Amino acid sequence: MSETVAAGGPPEQEAFLQLRDVAKNLGGNPVLAGVSLDVFEGDLLGLLGPSGSGKTTLLNIIGGFTDLDAGSVRIAGQDLTALPPHRRDIGITFQKYALFPHLTVFDNIGFGLRQRKVAAPELRQRVGEMLAVLGLTGLAGRYPRSLSGGEQQRVALARALAVRPRLMLLDEPLANLDAALRQRVRFEIREILRSTGVTSIFVTHDQDEAFALCDRVAVLRGGRIQQIGTPAELIYQPANAFVARFIGSPNVFEASVQHYDAQTQSIRFVRDRFTGAACVRAPLTPGTRVEVFVRPDEVVIARADDVQPAKFRVKDWVHLVSGREAWIEGPITLRARLPSEATHLERGAAVIPSWRPERAHAFAIEPAPPAAATT
Amino acid sequence: MQVAPAIRSSRLSRRATSLLLLAPTTLLYLTVYLGGLVMVLVMSIDVPPGVDSGGATLAHYRDVFGSAPIGAIVLRTLRDSLATVAGCLLLGVPVARYITASASRWKGIVLMAVLSPLMVSAIGRIFGWIALFGPGSVIADGLTALFGGKPTGLLYTEAAIIIGLTNLLLPFMVLSVASSRAHFEEDMSKAALSLGATPLSVLLQVELPLIFPGILSGALIVFSLSTTNFVTAALLGGSGRDLVGYEIYLDILVYFQQGRGAALAMLLLVVVVALMALAIQTGVQRHEVRDTAARTRGT
Ligand SMILES: Nc1ncnc2c1ncn2[C@@H]1O[C@H](COP(=O)(O)OP(=O)(O)OP(=O)(O)O)[C@@H](O)[C@H]1O
Ligand SMILES: [Mg+2]
């Protein structure tokens, strides 16, 4: 299985931001290893990964705050290695905003323009534009400490965008907002980034956020890119067991391969007396131990009849916002989701689960890797 | 707004408790500190023995202003104190930055090392310096070899006083600047850099304004402690009646001119308090203007 997956985008087009085999050790640990990434002009790329996977370190390397041990970072064909941070022309927003507390909202947003010696009238006009775009007009004279979290977040965005950087890096910009605000600001950010047309990398550990905002998403784990693709690709064609497990909290169970069908690239597997189908990424020989991933909303349950003996029983219901989730028990325990108006299935009812083979994913269980990868 | 009686009384009792907790400090300041000051004030206007008793006199103050070297002594005191403040700033700000930087590994050890002068007794420390700076020491021989001149080393020079005071008072500057640097986050300097600010602009436009209150209070503490210091000045500055603090000490405890010493002490107090008030005023104003501006525009 390859570490990086084809980046998509028109093949003849040269990527605007190119990372090649970027590696970084911190305190003796490989924090990033062989990271290659292409971001095309005007794209919004999501960088998704669990805590400690190296997302912030990667942004620090692109921003020039951390030296890389190996590899290269290029923007528009130019190698950035020797370029100090203040000459990179990359806008950054930080998880804790890092606004300048001694400056007003106006002066925070105008800070970058001042560094560029933009004349006063133009500065006033451009800051005014940013204030208007981000709905901050009434707050120009306020100091950061008197702003709400959402307002501070928008000031941070305005401050970075005011200088019209060629690349924007956003490090978990919504992490400090409450759930309702997060939903709203999420789309505001997308609209603003779209309307400015700036190429951006959006870091998050929230997959809903990444999928809602980004054209393409890179999944990072333990300093390695697991997969890069559109949200649909990550959901329906996970590249490996980690991505399959990480996206959409699927059912996970072990089984062994009964039969491999080269034509459909799928297997039949057996677990105790339960058999099912799943698609695979590589040919597997019968008897191979696999892990099978299938998301609850792909699992269809039908009441068992006399023809097919029931192997599963409904154990319990859980009510979720999106519908009801049934726990069914048999050789394995599975979660299945049904719309709330679905037929009533009482506890203890005999049922049969099934799914479309291409919606379940099986990966061979590799011999336990050394500690670093078992997150 | 209507406040329920129970809430009001609990609020009252909370305020009473917090006032009560201040009482011992208040008492200590009223008796020991203010009482002492009043005694000095009384001494400074007390009629000298032998002269007609009764009433007060400004004779001691006239005496102070009349004595020829006093102007030079005051000037030298201010000069040495300012030099000490400058030395503490130059040395202390980088140290404070180091111990508050998140990536520093040795910050605990560096902090201990910086504070260590305060843990050695004044006499012990100063005799060490005399051995170090004095005639026959490595430093003295080295200086003589380099620049010629008399082999007395640095001892009994203003330079020795300034170096000694800087060493002694550095901890106050470091602690003061370090505590104000808590408002500064590394991410702010990254943000500034990403906006195109050079490392120097980041220092001048972001970091310095944020640690300014700490620099100001550190400078005030160091300044007032050096103008009033006399042990360091007495032993390193030698027998010349060099600095105001030492002059007061001599007047009161050696020459028994208590009135003159007390008058000098009062004058020093007034000058230092005035300078501090001025500095605080300028410092506080900057912040207050900001705060009120923010508040009036807010909500
Ligand atoms: N200076 C350092 N020395 C040693 N290890 C470090 C250092 N900085 C970061 N690390 C380690 O590198 C790994 C990646 O850190 P990083 O901050 O990039 O993670 P992240 O993906 O941004 O996580 P989060 O979502 O929690 O912000 C972590 O395991 C962290 O402990
Ligand atoms: Mg992070």
The torsion angle over the Cα atoms of residues A268, A273, A274 and A277, rounded to 10 degrees, is 0
Mean pLDDT across the stretch B114-129? 82
Decide if A175 touches B, using CB distance below 8 A: no
What's the gap between Cα B81 and its chain centre? 9
pLDDT of residue B238: 63
pLDDT of residue B48: 65
pLDDT of residue A64: 94
Distance from Cα B27 to the centre of ligand 2, integer Å: 52
Q: Taking CB atoms and an 8 Å limit, are B195 and A115 in contact across chains?
A: yes
- Fold of the domain built from segment(s) B59-298: MetI-like fold (1.10.3720)
> Which of B191, B199, B294 minimises the CB distance to A146?
B294
Express each pLDDT in B242-265 by its tens digit. 678 888 888 888 888 888 888 888
pTM of the model: 0.78
The torsion angle over the Cα atoms of residues B236, B237, B240 and B246, rounded to 10 degrees, is -90
Distance from Cα B198 to the centre of ligand 1, integer Å: 26
pLDDT of residue A289: 94
DSSP conformational letter for B117: G
Query: What's the one-letter identity of residue B102?
Result: S
Name the B residues in 263-292 with CB < 8 Å from any A CB. 290
pLDDT of residue A69: 93
pLDDT of residue B9: 72
Report whether A363 contacts A257 (CB < 8 A): no
Q: Taking CB atoms and an 8 Å limit, are B196 and A116 in contact across chains?
A: yes
pLDDT of residue B296: 47
Decide if B210 touches A, using CB distance below 8 A: yes
Residues of chain A with CATH 2.40.50.140: 249-364
Express each pLDDT in B46-64 by its tens digit. 876 665 556 677 888 888 8
Domain spanning A249-364: CATH 2.40.50.140? yes
| Burial letters B159-175, b for 16+ CB under 10 A, else e | ebbbbbbbbbbbbbbbb
Q: Which atom of ligand 1 is nearest to the CA of A28?
A: 4
Distance from Cα A51 to the centre of ligand 2, integer Å: 7
Q: What is the overall mean pLDDT for chain B?
A: 81
How far apart (Å, rounded) are the C-alpha atoms in residues A195 and A203? 20
pLDDT of residue B115: 87
A259 phi, psi to nearest 5 deg: -155, 140
Contacts of A104 in chain B (CB under 8 A): 294
Residues of chain A with CATH 3.40.50.300: 5-241
Report whether A246 contacts A330 (CB < 8 A): no
How far apart (Å, rounded) are the C-alpha atoms in residues A229 and A38? 11
Distance from Cα A88 to the centre of ligand 2, integer Å: 21
How far apart (Å, rounded) are the C-alpha atoms in residues B245 and B69? 14
Express each pLDDT in A264-291 by its tens digit. 999 999 998 889 999 999 999 999 999 9
How far apart (Å, rounded) are the C-alpha atoms in residues A199 and A40? 7
pLDDT at B135 over 80: no
pLDDT of residue A364: 92
Q: Which of A67, A85, A89 has the alpha carbon at shortest distance from A22?
A: A67
Q: Taking CB atoms and an 8 Å limit, are B290 and A143 in contact across chains?
A: yes
> Which of B199, B206, B295 minimises the CB distance to A100?
B206
Q: Which of A203, A194, A215 has the alpha carbon at shortest distance from A61?
A: A203
Distance from CA of B183 to the nearest CA of A (A): 8
CATH number listed for the domain at residues A5-241: 3.40.50.300
Report whether A134 contacts A106 (CB < 8 A): no
pLDDT of residue A103: 94
Ligand nearest to the CA of A57: 1
Decide if A83 touches B, using CB distance below 8 A: no
Grouped pLDDT means (10 residues each) for chain A, 375 residues: 45 83 92 94 93 93 93 93 93 93 95 94 94 89 91 92 94 83 82 90 91 92 94 93 91 94 92 90 92 92 73 82 82 82 74 90 79 46
pLDDT at B294 over 50: no
pLDDT of residue A253: 94
Mark out the alpha helices in chain A (DSSP H runs): 55-63, 105-115, 120-133, 149-161, 179-196, 207-213, 231-236, 241-246
Which residues surround ligand 1 with Cβ inside 6 Å? A 26-27, 29, 31, 49, 51-57, 205
Q: Taking CB atoms and an 8 Å limit, are A111 and B197 in contact across chains?
A: yes
What ranges do the domains of chain B cover?
Answer: 1-44, 59-298
A198-A93-A139 Cα angle (round to 5): 95
Report whether B273 contacts B227 (CB < 8 A): no
